Amino acid sequence: MTNAAASATRPFSYFEWMVARRYLGATRSGKGVSLISMIAFGGIMLAVAALISVMSIMQGFRLTLLDQLLGTNGHAHVEMEGGPISNYDDIAAQLAAIPGVTEATPLIEQPVFASANGETGMVIRGVRRDEILTNDYITGPDHIIDGSAENFGVGDKGGNEVLLGSRVASQLGVRAGDKVRLLTGQGAETAFGRTPRSKVYTVGAIFHVGNAEYDAIYGFMPLEQAQLFFSFGDAVQNIEVKVADPEKIKSYREQLMSVAQGLYVIDWQQRFQGYFNALQVERFAMRLVLFLIIIVATLNIITGLIMLVKDKTGDIAVLRTMGATQGAILRIFLLSGALIGVLGTIAGIVLGSLFILNIDAIENGLSAMLGTDLFPAEVYYLDGVPAQLELREVALIAGFTLFMSLITTLYPAARAARLDPVEALRYE
């Protein structure tokens, strides 16, 4: 008999698991504790699912925006203090020779006024033919939506074709093959200053990056034509540098600046600092708020277990008189609370993951049902809801939830373990 009792109260034995599971069910007086357990389970599940969904969307937004910005722009721009870079081919070759640098491309970037069937301001980037044809974000098969870039940079002084962003083309009311007039203030130098210059170009192709801001601002022109149109002569505005690991662009700064005297470097983290600082702050604040929601959800476990202890006072006294130790009673109620936390966390992970994996279909369905665009590109700069399910983030959420579930069970479990069986049976 003694051996049986010892076996029954062995730490986390089958007996303790069985009692803990049964205690989460109906009570003698009805369904009260069971209902509270279900509410606690549902609260944890929804809190975990919400946190996974929100953090995955924010991570997806950051990665998508970063991917687009770094795919269409250089990771750093090397400029000359005081004016254009004349010996740009030599400097570009030296920059390209730096370990980790994958590209060094001469570039001219100037604002222009464009007119055709409509009018708009835009930015023209003068680049070489090989650079634009190897940029999949611009001329890749998934991004050219009208025309072709095959004739870009072909002809005298780079030819007469330009590439336009999809929203620029829409504002101008043009398609591939149409004519567009560009006007710049960087014309010929006279005694009264620079004179405006305009020229008619042919739209060779229309590209669509997927970033509403980029598609609504940028166009491309062959570098030789940009030098002529913007009066740069045989010089460029800056040299665009791409590196193997953009996240470590700061480590390349000294090497880039050491190439020649009078150069200074602007990297992508400086150029887009406002974007990513805002995203970082928002991400931290959202994580903090949602973690607080998880804390509130796990506090329901305390309510449920305190009511369970009160309801099972007689059972606890009987178990103690039959040989169950205070440790066994403590573990039984710890397991009861832990089961709610573990099952709620697992269900939340499954629900949040399913939501993220089907977010496009959900967004399209809700938009159709409500008759409005829930994710307008003009506001969010992206064509669809980006989401990236990150295992490390999921593990952090799950670990925090399980930790809070365990913490919230300690007080009611300790209260049950300290219950005096004599006093408890007196009122039974």
pLDDT per residue as tens digits for the range 265-282:
888 888 877 777 777 788
In a domain, 71, yes or no: no
At 372, the pLDDT band (50, 70, 90 cuts) reads confident
Give the residue-averaged pLDDT of 282-298: 84
Can you give the pLDDT at residue 379?
61
Calpha distance 150→246 (Å, rounded):
29
State the CB neighbour count (10 A cutoff) for residue 261.
8
At 2, the pLDDT band (50, 70, 90 cuts) reads very low
At 30, the pLDDT band (50, 70, 90 cuts) reads very low
Instruction: State whether 137 and 57 are in the same domain.
Output: no
Can you give the pLDDT at residue 346?
94
Q: Which helix (H) or strand (E) holds 240?
A: strand 238-243
Last residue of a domain, one of 220, 237, 261: 261
In a domain, 73, yes or no: no
Which tokens in the block code for residue 158? Answer: 């780079």
Can you give the pLDDT at residue 145?
92
* 345 within 8 A of 44, measured Cβ to Cβ: yes
Q: Which helix (H) or strand (E) holds 325?
A: none
Can you give the pLDDT at residue 382?
66
What distance, in Å, lies between the first and last C-alpha atoms of the chain? Answer: 26
Instruction: State whether 242 and 331 are in the same domain.
Output: no
Calpha distance 255→90 (Å, rounded):
16
Instruction: State whether 161 and 237 are in the same domain.
Output: yes
Instruction: State whether 418 and 353 are in the same domain.
Output: yes
In a domain, 269, yes or no: no
Give the residue-averaged pLDDT of 134-149: 89
As a dihedral over the C-alpha atoms of residue 54, residue 56, residue 59, residue 64, rounded to 10 degrees, the angle is -110
In a domain, 271, yes or no: no
Can you give the pLDDT at residue 381?
60
Calpha distance 24→340 (Å, rounded):
9
Last residue of a domain, one of 235, 261, 287: 261
Whether the predicted pLDDT of 8 surpasses 60: no
Instruction: State whether 310 and 238 are in the same domain.
Output: no
At 26, the pLDDT band (50, 70, 90 cuts) reads low
Please give the backbone phi and psi of residue 223, each rounded to the nearest 5 degrees, phi first: -60, -45
Instruction: State whether 232 and 127 are in the same domain.
Output: yes
At 221, the pLDDT band (50, 70, 90 cuts) reads very high
Calpha distance 80→209 (Å, rounded):
30
Give the residue-averaged pLDDT of 372-387: 70
In a domain, 266, yes or no: no
Lowest mean pLDDT among 75-79, 208-212, 402-406: 208-212
In a domain, 75, yes or no: no
Instruction: State whether 144 and 250 are in the same domain.
Output: yes
In a domain, 411, yes or no: yes
The CA-atom distances, in angstroms, between 18 and each of 15, 299, 362, 393 are 5, 24, 40, 33
pLDDT tens digit sequence for 74-99: 888 888 877 888 888 998 898 889 89
Can you give the pLDDT at residue 17?
76
- Angle, vertex CA 203, rays to CA 197 and CA 205, nearest 5: 140
Q: Give the burial class of 201: count Cβ atoms within 10 A of its Cβ; 0-12 exposed, 13-18 middle, 19 or more buried.
A: buried
Can you give the pLDDT at residue 140?
87
CA 17 and chain centroid, separation:
41
Q: What is the DSSP string of 256-309?
A: HHTSSTTEEEEEHHHHTHHHHHHHHHHHHHHHHHHHHHHHHHHHHHHHHHHHHH
List, in sequence order, every residue forming a beta bridge with 236; answer none if it has no partner: 85
Percent of the chain with pLDDT over 90: 25
Q: Give the burial class of 207: count Cβ atoms within 10 A of its Cβ; 0-12 exposed, 13-18 middle, 19 or more buried.
A: buried
Give the residue-averaged pLDDT of 184-200: 75
Last residue of a domain, one of 205, 233, 261: 261
Whether the predicted pLDDT of 174 surpasses 90: yes
- What is the tally of structural domains in the chain? 2
Instruction: State whether 240 and 335 are in the same domain.
Output: no
* 45 within 8 A of 344, measured Cβ to Cβ: yes
Please give the backbone phi and psi of residue 130, each rounded to the nearest 5 degrees, phi first: -65, -30
In a domain, 76, yes or no: no
Whether the predicted pLDDT of 312 surpasses 90: no
Whether the predicted pLDDT of 134 surpasses 70: yes
Instruction: State whether 243 and 116 are in the same domain.
Output: yes
Instruction: State whether 61 and 134 are in the same domain.
Output: no
pLDDT tens digit sequence for 243-269: 888 888 888 888 888 876 778 888 888
Instruction: State whether 23 and 148 are in the same domain.
Output: no
Give the residue-averaged pLDDT of 345-370: 88
Which of these, 93, 162, 174, lies nearest to 126 by C-alpha position?
A: 162
207: domain range?
Answer: 82-261
Instruction: State whether 95 and 239 are in the same domain.
Output: yes
Q: What is the mean pLDDT of the chain?
A: 82
Give the residue-averaged pLDDT of 411-427: 71
E strand spans, 88-231: 101-115, 119-127, 144-147, 161-165, 179-184, 189-190, 193-194, 197-207, 218-222
